[in-house]
């Protein structure tokens, strides 16, 4: 947990009933973040420990049984994810309210529920499980049959169920809530190692109708490539390959999925009247039929062999091209599997052993404090460099003051650093035995390390902030970096380094100064020259066409993100109307709560900000909406147009208004009458397919804008 309360240790000990309720709520929330948002905020280990604690408490208190408890069902990925790591998405996770198709994927009921596995981090519990297996098979007539355990790697991706009918791949269903899942077959078809067709008896094995389950993964290499690209595009990074694979699988455009390069390993065959007496035999049949079955599978005959397998792969897995987080043990004989049976959520014939996250002990050298764009202060631990999971680690975030206190961090302490499923290493504990006597506790600073202003901490907030928003250098530079970024004013030729340089030169202090930059001054700078200066001037000119909603986003008002800015710009078509709005009135806009409304009023009420806005207006920026309901031309007269996907330059509603302003008609679905499709990113595959079949042209937003611009000028 990132946010630890200062008062945790003095809070009254909750009763076990309260603890059960709290754990159920917390684990349900984490399931949602993990499966739906692809953005977990708790490590797997912590999640598993809390789940085990809840299981133990529920066993102790059968009177508190609840069939909705997270111990009774598997997590759900229903609700979709658009691949943007930390943006909540559309849809619902409620099982009852979901029918048919949402988020562009058809929802189907699993033929066989998709269960999860019991898991442990303890070798002793693996031995206990094996004892239970032997015991469970002792009293049955076939007990004499030797027990074989198949050991496999536990791949850290998303489970998928592939349905083959008459030799054809017909569906690929996600785990969903274990009972229903989303059919993502179009995306799965992009994985080269998954056969589209299989022939009955191929290689002496599977029939032509069966189901096969496995894990979809994004290999490390592709994960790193995608994150490099996202960094360049100023998109939020994926925390790990699992999250990236999860986001990718829910994308609506299979072409984008293909470019990302997913992979799949298959590990479980199901169906009626399948040949083979053992799990291992069936996997071999699957391998012969062309499925990607891992080579790392071993049939073991004793506890020792199982332990050897676990120890070997704990180290060796680091050389694999994909992420693994443990080992799965399965009873090999299908008859014995049947005899052992299932609990509500997991088979008794299988268990997962999870590898502990790698951790290292190192010395804390100092704590430094970073000031963010909004003035939030983040403490950072500077440590003696140490090798962890293949990379040298010397810095780790300390989150906030409460986190430092909960660690009871002292100067010169030795700390445990872990790198779990996340990219950023974490300090998980202080090593008490290595603390020198008379060391001083780390006390969070009270003044800004950059500008010296006294820090403030609002009630209910974890972060201390520097309130000097128009005078503190990193805040000023951060605001400018945000202003010029791609999703805001998209100013070419003005990156973070250039902003730094111009700041040092004293040319830039506020976002308004950007439009006072002088071409000649820039051209004369070493490393710049005429070309760079022209590029920047051109970028500034182009930015004057950026629509009002993006200018509003670019102003960097606290809490006003891209989506909120669009909604505000629609409700307030000019900056003057927005400036005149009060806190209550603003809250009538969708998604604007009291906190956001107050931040807007405070921003607009600040004299410095008002001066900046006036200078930006004078520079020629769009401070009002150019959207108009009047008829601009009849270029699109009689044309039925479908708008689909996510756009860069205008919102979908803005494009629809433009179509009408130029005489066109908006249509919801593609038909033979459709004149063309105005397509953004991630357009629905069904629409794209239909358009291709009917030979309907697909135009990008740039092409569309060109189309209407030419005629607007003519008319
Ligand atoms: S077998 C009924 N084998 O781990 C047994 N699962 O925590 C079905 N997983 O839901 C699962 N590698 O997504 C199995 N070799 C493997 C696996 C594996 C990864 C995943 C799978 C499962 C989860 C359980």
CA of 114 to the centre of ligand 1 (A): 10
Q: Is 22 within a domain?
A: yes
Nearest CA owner, ligand 1 atom 21: 159
Residue that terminates a domain, selected from 354, 388, 404:
354
C-alpha neighbours within 13 Å on the C-beta side of residue 360: 18
Q: What is the pLDDT of residue 11?
A: 36
Shared-domain flag, residues 373 and 330? no
Q: Which residues contact 562 (CB under 8 A, 6 or more apart)?
A: 487, 553
How many CB atoms within 10 Å of residue 41? Answer: 16
Q: Does residue 692 have a pLDDT over 80?
A: yes
Distance 329 CA to ligand 1 centre (A): 10
pLDDT at position 473 is: 96
Backbone φ and ψ of 417, nearest 5° = -110, 135
Determine the 3-state secondary structure of 614 from DSSP: helix
CA distance 47 to 52: 9
Residue of 462, 458, 460 lying closest to 399 (CA atoms): 462
Is residue 667 included in any domain, yes or no?
Answer: yes
Q: What is the DSSP letter of 376?
A: B
Protein residue whose Cα sits closest to atom 17 of ligand 1: 154
Report the percent of the chain where pLDDT is more than 90: 61
Interaxial angle between packed helices 44-60 and 16-31, expressed in degrees from 0 to 180 and rounded to the nearest 10 = 140
Q: Which residues of 566-590 are buried (b: 16+ CB within 10 A; e: fewer)?
A: bbbbbbbeebeebbebeeeebbebe
Counting ligand 1 atoms within 8 A of each CB, the residue from 70, 76, 154 with the most, and so the one to mutate, is: 154
The dihedral sign for the CA sequence 606, 609, 611, 614? negative
369, 417: one domain: yes
CA 553 to ligand 1 centroid distance, Å: 43
More confident residue, 195 or 30: 195
Residue 631 domain-assigned (yes or no): no
Q: What is the CATH number of the domain that holds 703?
A: 3.40.50.10190
Comparing 530 with 651, the larger pLDDT belongs to: 530
| 381 and 331 inside one domain | no
Q: In testing the pocket of ligand 1, which one of 151, 177, 215 has its CB within 8 Å of the most ligand atoms? A: 215
| Polymer length in residues for the chain | 715
User: Are residues 551 and 588 located together in one domain of the fold?
Assistant: yes
Around ligand 1, the residues with Cβ closer than 6 Å are 115-117, 119, 152, 154-155, 159, 215, 267-268, 328, 347, 350, 352
- For residues 96 and 111, what is the distance between their CA atoms, to the nearest angstrom? 18
Structure confidence at residue 486 (pLDDT): 86
Among 102-116, 145-159, 160-174, 535-549, the range scoring the smallest mean pLDDT is: 102-116
> What band does 181 get if pLDDT is binned at 50, 70 and 90?
very high
Nearest CA to ligand 1 atom 18: 154
Q: Assess if residue 681 is contained within a domain.
A: yes
In Å, what is the CA distance from 710 to each residue of 12, 264, 428, 547, 656? 71, 48, 61, 19, 18
Mutation choice for ligand 1 from 241, 267, 295, CB with most ligand atoms inside 8 A: 267
Model pLDDT, residue 13: 52
How would you class 324 by CB atoms within 10 Å of its CB: exposed for 0-12, middle for 13-18, buried for 19 or more? buried
Residue 493's pLDDT band (boundaries 50, 70, 90)? confident
- What pLDDT score was predicted for residue 94? 27
> Smallest Cα–Cα separation from 700: which of 650, 627, 630, 636?
650
Distance CA 395, CA 382 (A): 5
Closest to 463 (Cα-Cα) out of 479, 484, 448: 448
* Cα Rg, the chain, nearest whole Å: 29
Q: State the distance between the two ends of the chain, measured CA to CA, in whole angstroms.
A: 61
Ligand 1 centroid from CA 116, angstroms: 7
The CA 74 to ligand 1 mean position distance, Å, reads: 12
In a domain, 447, yes or no: no
Q: What is the pTM for the complete model shown?
A: 0.63
- Cα torsion 643, 645, 650, 651: sign: positive
Judgement on whether residues 615 and 646 belong to the same structural domain of the protein: no
| pLDDT the model gives residue 93 | 27
Residue partners of 11: CB distance under 8 A and separation at least 6: 5
Among 619, 652, 679, give the residue marking a domain's end: 619
What is the position in ligand 1's atom list of the atom closest to the CA of 154?
Answer: 12
CATH number at residue 66: 1.10.287.610
Sheet holding 674-679, edge to edge: 665-667, 640-644, 674-679, 698-699
696-709 confidence digits (pLDDT tens): 999 999 899 988 87
DSSP string over 665-709: EEESS--TTEEEEEE-BT--HHHHHHHHHHT--EE-HHHHHHHHH
Residue 710 above 70 pLDDT? no
User: In this predicted model, which residue has the larger pLDDT, 80 or 351?
Assistant: 351
Three-class DSSP labels, 19-39: HHHHHHHHHHHHHHHHHHCCC
Question: Closest ligand 1 atom, CA of 159?
Answer: 13
56 shares a domain with 156: no
Q: What is the mean pLDDT of the chain?
A: 87
Residue 1 has pLDDT above 60, yes or no: no
Indicate the range of 74-78, 298-302, 619-623 predicted with least confidence.
Answer: 74-78
Asked which of 94-108, 387-401, 628-642 is least confident by mean pLDDT, the reply is 94-108
Name the closest-CA residue to atom 12, ligand 1. 154
Is the torsion defined by CA of 199, 205, 206, 212 positive or negative?
A: negative
Residues 306 and 373 in one domain: no
Helices (H) and strands (E) in the chain, counts: 24, 21
Q: Which two tokens stand for residue 317?
A: 């897995």
Q: Which atom of ligand 1 is nearest to the CA of 153?
A: 15
Give the residue numbers annotated as catalytic, written as ranges.
154
Q: Which of 174, 327, 328, 338 to mutate to test the pocket of ligand 1 (most atoms within 8 A of CB)?
A: 328
Residue 301's Cβ-side half-sphere holds a number of Cα atoms within 13 Å equal to 2
Phi and psi at 391, nearest 5°, equal: -125, 155
Instruction: With CA atoms as reference, report the closest residue to 4 among 403, 351, 372.
Output: 403
> Could you tell me the CA-to-CA distances from 669 to 640, 642, 646 in Å, in that order?
10, 7, 16
User: What is the C-alpha separation between 213 and 205, in angstroms, rounded?
Assistant: 17
Q: Checking phi first, is residue 470 left (phi over 0); if not, alpha (psi -120 to 50) or beta?
A: alpha
CATH code of the domain containing 260:
3.30.470.30
Alpha carbon of 83 to ligand 1 centroid (Å): 23
Q: Which of 53, 72, 91 is the last residue of a domain?
A: 72
Say whether both 407 and 518 belong to one domain: no
Beta bridge partners of 180: 109
* Closest listed residue to residue 301, CA positions, set 255, 347, 333: 333
With respect to residue 585, please indicate whether it lies within any of the assigned structural domains.
Answer: yes
Residue 26: inside a domain, yes or no? yes
Q: What are phi and psi of 631, to 5 degrees?
A: -75, 120
Residue 82, pLDDT > 60, answer: no
Which structural domain, as residue segments, surrounds residue 687?
A: 640-707
Question: Whole-angstrom Cα distance, residue 197 to residue 220?
Answer: 28
Highest mean pLDDT among 133-147, 565-579, 619-633: 565-579
Which is the closest atom of ligand 1 to the Cα of 115?
2
Measuring CA to CA, which residue among 546, 556, 592, 558 is closest to residue 572? 592
CB 377 within 8 A of CB 411: no
CATH number (domain holding residue 430): 2.40.50.140
Q: Answer yes or no: do 29 and 161 share one domain.
A: no
What is the distance in A from the centroid of ligand 1 to the CA of 154? 6
Which residue's CA is the nearest one to ligand 1's atom 16?
154
- 158 C-alpha to center of ligand 1: Å? 9
Token pair belonging to 85: 């790591």
The token duo for 279 is 């799990």
The atom of ligand 1 lying closest to the CA of 268 is 1
pLDDT at 630 over 70: no
Give, using CA atoms, the residue closest to atom 6 of ligand 1. 154
Same domain, yes or no, for 35 and 183?
A: no
Domain count of the fold of the chain: 5
Residue found by looking up tokens 């083979």 in the block: 276
**Residue 481 belongs to domain with CATH number:** 1.10.150.20
- 3-state SS string for 310-324: HHHHHHHHHHCCCCE
Work out the average pLDDT over 233-251. Answer: 86
* Lookup result for tokens 């308004």: 512
Give distance in angstroms: CA of 345 to centre of ligand 1.
13
pLDDT at 304 over 50: yes
Farthest-apart Cα atoms in the chain, separation: 92
347 and 363 in a single domain? The answer is no
Whether 364 and 350 share a structural domain: no
Residue 129 has pLDDT above 50, yes or no: yes
Exposed e or buried b per residue across 6-28, where buried means at least 16 C-beta atoms within 10 angstroms of its C-beta: eeeeeeeeeeeeeebeebbebbb
Instruction: Give the residue, by CA position, lying nearest to ligand 1 atom 9.
Output: 154
């Amino acid at each position: 947990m990132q946010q630890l309360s200062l008062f945790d240790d003095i809070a009254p000990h909750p009763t076990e009933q309260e603890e059960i309720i709290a754990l159920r709520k917390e684990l349900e929330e984490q399931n949602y973040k993990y499966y739906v948002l692809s953005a977990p905020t708790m490590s797997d280990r912590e999640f598993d420990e809390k789940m085990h604690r809840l299981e133990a408490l529920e066993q102790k208190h059968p009177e508190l049984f609840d069939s909705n408890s997270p111990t009774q069902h598997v997590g759900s990925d229903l609700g979709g994810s658009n691949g943007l790591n930390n943006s909540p998405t559309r849809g619902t996770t409620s099982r009852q309210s979901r029918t048919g198709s949402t988020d562009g994927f058809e929802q189907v009921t699993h033929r066989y529920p998709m269960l999860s596995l019991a898991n442990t981090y303890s070798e002793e519990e693996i031995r206990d499980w094996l004892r239970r297996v032997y015991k469970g098979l002792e009293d049955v007539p076939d007990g004499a049959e030797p027990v074989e355990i198949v050991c496999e790697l536990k791949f850290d991706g998303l489970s998928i169920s592939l349905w083959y009918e008459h030799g054809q791949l017909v569906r690929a269903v996600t785990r969903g809530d274990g009972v229903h899942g989303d059919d993502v077959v179009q995306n799965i078809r992009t994985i080269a190692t998954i056969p589209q067709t299989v022939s009955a008896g191929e290689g002496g094995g599977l029939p032509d109708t069966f189901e096969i389950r496995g894990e979809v993964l994004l290999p490390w290499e592709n994960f790193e490539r995608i994150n490099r690209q996202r960094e360049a595009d100023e998109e939020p990074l994926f925390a790990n390959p699992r999250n990236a694979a999860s986001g990718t699988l829910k994308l609506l455009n299979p072409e984008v999925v293909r470019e990302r390069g997913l992979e799949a390993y298959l590990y479980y065959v199901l169906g009626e009247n399948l040949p083979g007496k053992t799990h291992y035999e069936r996997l071999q049949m699957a391998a012969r039929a062309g499925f990607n079955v891992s080579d790392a599978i071993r049939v073991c005959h004793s506890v020792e062999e199982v332990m050897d397998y676990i120890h070997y792969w704990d180290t060796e897995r680091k050389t694999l091209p994909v992420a693994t987080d443990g080992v799965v043990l399965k009873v090999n004989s299908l008859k014995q599997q049947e005899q052992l049976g299932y609990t509500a959520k997991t088979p008794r014939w299988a268990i997962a052993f999870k590898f502990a996250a790698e951790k290292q002990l190192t010395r804390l050298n100092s704590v430094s404090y970073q000031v963010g764009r909004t003035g939030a202060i983040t403490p950072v631990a500077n440590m003696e460099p140490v090798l962890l999971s293949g990379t040298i680690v010397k810095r780790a975030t300390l989150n906030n003051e409460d986190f430092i206190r909960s660690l009871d961090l002292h100067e010169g302490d030795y700390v445990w650093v872990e790198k779990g499923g996340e990219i950023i290493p974490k300090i998980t504990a202080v090593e008490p035995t290595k603390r020198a006597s008379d060391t001083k506790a780390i006390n969070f600073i009270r003044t800004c390390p950059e500008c010296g202003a006294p820090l403030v901490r609002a009630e209910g907030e974890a972060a201390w902030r520097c309130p000097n928003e128009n005078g503190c250098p990193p805040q000023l530079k951060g605001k400018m970096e945000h202003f010029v970024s791609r999703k805001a004013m998209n100013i070419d030729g003005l990156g973070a380094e250039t902003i730094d340089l111009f700041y040092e030169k004293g040319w830039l202090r506020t976002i308004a100064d950007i439009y006072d930059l002088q071409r000649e001054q820039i051209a004369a700078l070493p490393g710049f020259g005429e070309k760079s200066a022209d590029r920047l001037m051109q970028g500034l000119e182009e930015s004057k066409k950026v629509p009002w909603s993006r200018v509003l986003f670019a102003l960097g008002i606290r809490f006003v993100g891209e989506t909120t800015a669009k909604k505000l710009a629609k409700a307030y078509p000019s900056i003057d109307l927005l400036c005149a709005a009060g806190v209550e009135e603003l809250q009538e806009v969708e998604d604007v709560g009291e906190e956001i409304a107050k931040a807007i009023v405070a921003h607009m009420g600040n004299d410095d900000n008002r001066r900046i806005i006036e200078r930006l207006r004078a520079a020629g920026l769009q401070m009002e909406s150019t959207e108009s309901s009047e008829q601009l031309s009849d270029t699109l007269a009689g044309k039925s147009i479908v708008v689909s996907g996510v756009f860069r330059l205008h919102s979908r509603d803005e494009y629809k208004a433009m179509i009408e302003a130029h005489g066109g008609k908006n249509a919801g679905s593609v038909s033979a009458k459709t004149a063309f499709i105005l397509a953004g990113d991630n357009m629905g595959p069904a629409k794209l397919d239909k358009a291709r079949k009917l030979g309907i042209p697909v135009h990008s937003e740039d092409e569309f804008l060109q189309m209407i611009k030419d005629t607007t000028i003519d008319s």
